[in-house]
Amino acid sequence: LWVIITLLPTLYLNRKHVDKPLTKTDYIGWSMWLFGFLFEVIADKQKMTFKNNLNNKENFISTGLWKYSRHPNYFGEICSWLGLYISSSHMLVGYEKFIGILSPIFVTCLLSFVSGIPILERQAMKLFGTNPAYHTYRNRTPILIPFINFPRI
């Protein structure tokens, strides 16, 4: 299910037999995909390096990209899927545009409300919930989008 939904824009694009020149939309989408991919890779590398340091066994990461988002790797992944949709969107018509946008919406909803962030936030509260520094970090650091701290409900 994950593979099919996330690849919807690409699946529809690959069904087309039209040879159109590249547009700004292609470059914008590819740039967004690359930005998201690099953001995710850097965030994952930073976290892996942090966790592999034995001095950090009892600590939470709040440096690098993790200073600006509590889940920068997920932000990068969402940007990648959105970029993939953007790059294919000018070739999609009618219902294909609607179905294609399901890819980044699905990834965003799944990571934000189901499998990713909620689980990791609960784990972090269990591990660091008694640490005042963690509460400060949690209150000042956006949950997903760097520099945009949405109010909690």
Tell me the pLDDT tens digit for each residue of 61-105.
999 999 999 999 999 999 999 999 999 888 888 888 888 899 999
Q: Does 134 score more than 60 pLDDT?
A: yes
Q: Residue 113's closest CA among 74, 82, 151, 142? A: 74
Structure confidence at residue 15 (pLDDT):
67
Q: Does 121 score more than 80 pLDDT?
A: yes
Q: Model-level pTM?
A: 0.89
Structure confidence at residue 151 (pLDDT):
67
Q: Which two tokens stand for residue 130?
A: 């008694």
Mean pLDDT of 10-39: 86
Structure confidence at residue 42 (pLDDT):
99
Estimate the crossing angle of helix 95-109 against helix 8-15, to 10 degrees: 160
Distance CA 71, CA 47 (A): 10
> Can you give the residue ranges of every domain in the chain?
8-140
Tens digit of pLDDT for each residue in 38-72?
Answer: 999 999 999 999 999 999 988 999 999 999 999 99
DSSP 117-129: HHHHHHHHHHHHT
Q: Which residues contact 2 (CB under 8 A, 6 or more apart)?
A: 110
Structure confidence at residue 16 (pLDDT):
67
Q: Which two tokens stand for residue 73?
A: 């790797």
Q: Does 153 score more than 50 pLDDT?
A: no
Cβ atoms of 29 and 87 within 8 Å: the answer is yes
Structure confidence at residue 104 (pLDDT):
93
Tens digit of pLDDT for each residue in 12-22?
Answer: 676 666 777 88
Largest separation between any pair of C-alpha atoms in the chain: 59
